[in-house]
């Protein structure tokens, strides 16, 4: 039997097909059913290949149509994990009706260190405890967004309502795929209330309403701690 080695690259959200000049077997005009005889994973350093294959939903022995949704759906499943910056499938070998697949994955960078600028050391220690970012953990958009939200909430509770947080990512030249996370924090001035006025109230006196509002500091949004 003559074996043909063809490479077919699938990238999400687009699909790129690379074929030899004399063979159009895997073109979209000629989708073919194959039985998966082997699945390999490349490009990863820290994750378990067996787990990733399981997440893709593909198994040795499955019948798949190539090209088609049988390949694009597993790509979406892996992409939606949020752990990768690149997901590609390739056909490494075809033997009759048997096909061998490779999954190429580019892992997101990992945290090599976490530092805070613009705040005192004691505040940096508090923020490290608050964020609980693990050295060696992967950096995802949700982790960065949640970290920024927690930092702003932390200082908002102390009266700094206009806190700005810039997240800087610097490649670590010592650790492969490592990134140094730097949180540049500008607390800006505290917000203080100089006076409170009430309009449209007839049933209650302003002095009584002010007394009731003293309990506001029990809430998360405690801007009245520094009020005059």
The model's pLDDT over 158-173, given as tens digits with 9 standing for 90+, comes to: 999 999 999 999 999 8
Task: For the chain, list the strands marked E by DSSP.
Answer: 10-11, 32-42, 63-66, 84-95, 98-107, 110-117, 164-171, 178-186
How high is the pLDDT of residue 1? 38
- This prediction has a pTM of 0.58
Low-confidence winner among 105-119, 173-187, 188-202 (lowest mean pLDDT): 188-202
The model's pLDDT over 73-114, given as tens digits with 9 standing for 90+, comes to: 999 999 988 889 899 988 999 999 999 999 999 999 999 999
**Is the bond preceding residue 150 a cis peptide, omega within 30 degrees?**
no
């Amino acid at each position: 039997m003559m074996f043909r080695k063809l490479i077919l690259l699938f990238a999400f959200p687009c699909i790129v097909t690379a074929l030899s000049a004399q063979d159009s077997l895997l073109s979209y005009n000629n989708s073919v059913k194959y039985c998966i005889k082997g699945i390999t994973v490349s490009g990863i350093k820290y994750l378990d290949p067996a787990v990733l294959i399981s997440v893709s939903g593909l198994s040795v022995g499955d019948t798949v149509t190539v090209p088609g949704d049988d390949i694009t759906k597993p790509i979406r499943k892996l992409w939606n994990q949020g752990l990768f910056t690149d997901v590609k499938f390739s056909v490494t070998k075809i033997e009759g009706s048997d096909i061998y697949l490779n999954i190429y994955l580019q892992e997101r960078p990992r945290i090599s260190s976490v530092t805070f600028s613009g705040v005192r050391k004691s505040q940096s220690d508090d923020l490290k405890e608050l964020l609980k970012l693990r050295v060696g953990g992967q950096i995802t958009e949700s982790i960065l967004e949640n970290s920024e939200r927690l930092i702003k909430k932390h200082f908002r509770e102390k009266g700094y309502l206009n806190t700005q947080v810039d997240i800087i990512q610097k490649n670590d030249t010592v650790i492969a795929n490592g990134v140094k996370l730097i949180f540049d924090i500008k607390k800006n001035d505290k917000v203080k209330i100089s006076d409170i006025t009430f309009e449209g109230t007839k049933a209650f006196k302003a002095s009584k309403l002010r007394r009731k509002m003293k309990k506001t500091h029990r809430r998360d949004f405690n801007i009245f701690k520094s009020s005059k």
